[in-house]
Amino acid sequence: MKLKHMYILFLLVFSLYNTSKGQSYKHTDLGIKTVINSTEIEIQFYGPSTVRILKFPEGDEFEKKSLSVIMQPQEEIFDIQEMGREITLKSKKISVVLNLKNGQVAFKTISGEPLLNEKAYVGKFTDFIDAGDTTYSVSQSYVLDENEAIYGLGILQRGKMSQRNQEVRMVQNNTEDYVPFFLSEKGYGVYWDNYSPTTFKDNSESTSFSSEVGDGIDYYFMYGGNSDGVIACMRNLTGQVPMFPLWTFGYWQSKERYKSQNEIVGVVKKYRELGVPLDGIIQDWQYWGNNYLWNAMEFLNPDFANPQKMVNDIHDLNAHIIISIWSSFGPMTKPYREMNPKGMLLDIGTWPQSGLTSWPPNKDYPSGVKPYDPYNPEARDIYWKYLNQGIFKLGMDGWWMDSTEPDHLDFRAQDMDNKTYLGSFRKVRNAYPLMTVGGVYEHQREVSSDKRVFILTRSAFAGQQRYGANTWSGDVSSSWESLRNQIPAGLNFSLCGIPYWNSDIGGFFAGAYNKNWNDGSGSKNPLYQELYVRWLQFGAFTPMMRSHGTDVPREIYQFGKEGEPIYDAIEKAIKLRYSLLPYIYGTAWDVTKNQSSFMRALVMDFNDENVKDLRNEYMFGKSILVAPIDSAQYTSEKVLKIDADTGWDKAEKEDTKSNTETNFRKPKSKNVYLPAGEEWYDFWTNETYLGGQNITATTTIDKIPLYIKAGSILPFGPKVKYAAEKKWDKLEIRIYEGANGEFTLYEDENDNYNYEKGMYSTITFNWNDAEKVLTINDREGNFPGMLKERTFGIVKVGKGKAAGDEVVMLFDKVVKYNGKKVLVKF
């Protein structure tokens, strides 16, 4: 072990003690440890930008293998300085100051600028009996600047962008996924590494995390300088993001539920007949039969008599299928019968509550369904064994992992005392989704490298980005309020370092819109049509564009036919998504390679006070500003408050029938704020605006406000019916002049892990605005099937050069490219 460079020279071979002023501390390989006010405190450098703080009562032992943190601490060169009652540890990036009198820890930049202070005490430990074991409840408070904005905490349905001035009880549930992490506008982040029920509280006095169970306080401070830097630190700490398959970025159709294999295959056939692009279809629950066979991981329902044919038929239509699997099992299933004698099932109430499928649940006939213990490695092995045997070997393309919180119904106090492999359920409660999703990812990776793991999951925890998982926001209600809440929910989740997120397009519980409606489906109800179209347009600019819900069917042909405004608006949004696939896939590579984010809160990219708490606009990638229409413009808005646990009770829904004819062809408008310091192009008209102002954007039912940042280079792909239908041999490249710009076009084999071996290619485009020169650089890398030659149609979008909606831009230059550097001068 190499000695660290320090200003303090009196180092002993094994340890160092400073006894000045009655205080002592011990030098360790990673930092220091000491005892202050009967509390052991240890400061550990995990790298130049990340520090771990450990605290526990003197005389106790605190050994913990983190479930989220996979980074190994690095041997870091740091200096130690002592002045008065303070000791300062300095790395190349940050300073950590420990008050030797009261145990307060403060964090500063290397130049001494304050970042974050603990409140002036060492932390709080309260005796707690956890399922018979003596331990503590733990708490730590911090002092933030009065107007400091912070973000993160997971997926919250509260409509807030900055997470100040609130109290959040963190216990995973259907529609809120908690990550005990926040990111500050000052360029630092704090991850509270605890998995028990936790309360985040922020008020004028302090900001704190308090957890029910903890043998000690354990948190990480990271300084990145800006949001991207903090996210990079969080991913270095908890895991990097793999590439998702190209097909996952196309359009996905789903509902609760397709009731036969003929029905689900028929939906794909209908999309192909209509020429509307589609890449994925999802089979929801009950393909296994009755509730006593819940999640059997077998096709036991006679309406799915030949599942291999179903999968083959969908693949033959050039589409992909993923299927619902749960974290629980019915008592008649093989996994249940194997796990139960081994104590691998949790005795808590979960969905479904009855063995009968009638509503409301008849609890005289309990289902007996129980969640399994994913903390147990053998239980994860058993889970995969049946999943592999019953479904994966059919050629299933991915997993819709429902109830990964898991559902916890009919709560009893003793439920949290359930023993898991890692202790009480209370102790590890919030990490349940991380463990169950991770189990599927790791097992599939062991048996196949030809198919990238793709998991759609209802819950998440810190570190889940490393498992090929896209989290959706749960069974949210179909209302404008709910749509408004999804935007900051997705942005704050992304700011936790987990970039893949989506929501049920149209909301899940939509029964209010079909009660007493003409055809009983609600899809012809103008109130729902407007909400659905606006949600779909928002969904086109999220990492996964997926339509799903109950009560109202969501397939495009349910809403009308070609030539009608609602049908045309849906088709236009889907086709726009597909035209942007080269941009989206390039952004996915930026996420994987450079630790970037898909959905970017405006505070990430713009030094503008007006965007710090702006909750209804964001960047999709680094070029496209999206301003979703989140309020009704054509119909009266109904705000529906629906509890996800009782949302199935259709009798409680209000009648939202509209008796007035709606003119969806009339233009409307929306106020949009354009961030300062940039010039912006209206995507539809190419009209230019200076940032730092509110503008009134003209909208129609088939258009939402989209703006392109000057200096952007956007690639547009061919018209296709599915993502991989055509090679990208002829791409349109739009250059939005007004600033220098860069974009890297990324390509690989679309659906295997060969990219991890370097089998991919990149072409980087650079725009020099002053010289009006586009440089198409040498292609780097190669892979089987790579295009050797291609054509780029270049469009220079200039100020005042309006294209108009639906007008095809004429190429300014056509470039034949064979992989060698090309300069295109304008």
At 121 the pLDDT is 76
Q: Three-class SS of residue 341?
A: helix
CA distance 86 to 203: 28
At 269 the pLDDT is 98
At 9 the pLDDT is 31
Residue (of 155, 326, 322, 154) closest to 245 by Cα position? 322
Q: Is the pLDDT of residue 519 over 70?
A: no
Dihedral of the alpha carbons of 564, 263, 453, 574, in degrees to the nearest 10? -10
pLDDT band at 16 (very low <50, low <70, confident <90, very high): very low
For the stretch 228-231, contacts whose Cβ atoms lie closer than 8 Å and that sit 24 or more positions apart, written own/partner, are: 228/595, 228/596, 228/597, 228/604, 229/49, 229/187, 230/183, 230/184, 230/187, 230/188, 230/189, 231/183, 231/189, 231/495, 231/497, 231/595, 231/597
How remote is the C-alpha of 368 from its chain's centroid?
Answer: 32
pLDDT band at 20 (very low <50, low <70, confident <90, very high): very low
Total length of the chain:
826
At 34 the pLDDT is 96
475 is catalytic: yes
The 10s digit of each residue's pLDDT in 445-471 is 999 999 999 999 999 999 999 999 999
Lowest mean pLDDT among 131-140, 518-527, 605-614, 703-712: 518-527
CA distance 393 to 401: 17
Exactly one of 42, 373, 475, 551 is catalytic; which is it?
475
Whether omega for the bond prior to residue 484 falls within 30 degrees of 0, making it cis, is no
| Token pair belonging to 527 | 């109130």
- Mean pLDDT for 638-660 is 48
Q: Is 49 left (phi over 0), alpha (psi -120 to 50) or beta?
A: alpha
pTM of the model: 0.95
The 10s digit of each residue's pLDDT in 685-717 is 999 999 999 999 999 999 999 999 999 999 999
Q: How many CA atoms lie within 13 A of 587 on its CB side?
A: 26
CA distance 5 to 74: 15
Exactly one of 402, 530, 608, 747 is catalytic; which is it?
402
- Mean pLDDT for 208-213 is 98
Dihedral of the alpha carbons of 252, 256, 261, 264, in degrees to the nearest 10? -30
Can you give 515-555 as a three-state secondary structure string? Answer: CCCCCCCCCCCHHHHHHHHHHHHHHCCCCCEEECCECCCCC
Q: Is the pLDDT of residue 805 over 50?
A: no
402 is catalytic: yes
At 13 the pLDDT is 32
Q: Is the dihedral of CA 663, 665, 666, 669 positive or negative?
A: positive
CA distance 405 to 675: 37
- Mean pLDDT for 132-147 is 97
Q: Is the pLDDT of residue 113 over 70?
A: yes
Report yes or no: 245 and 581 within 8 Å, Cβ to Cβ: no
At 76 the pLDDT is 78
The domains found in the chain, sorted by start residue, are: 20-238 (2.60.40.1760), 251-608+630-652 (3.20.20.80)
Exactly one of 405, 530, 608, 702 is catalytic; which is it?
405
Q: Is the pLDDT of residue 122 over 90?
A: no
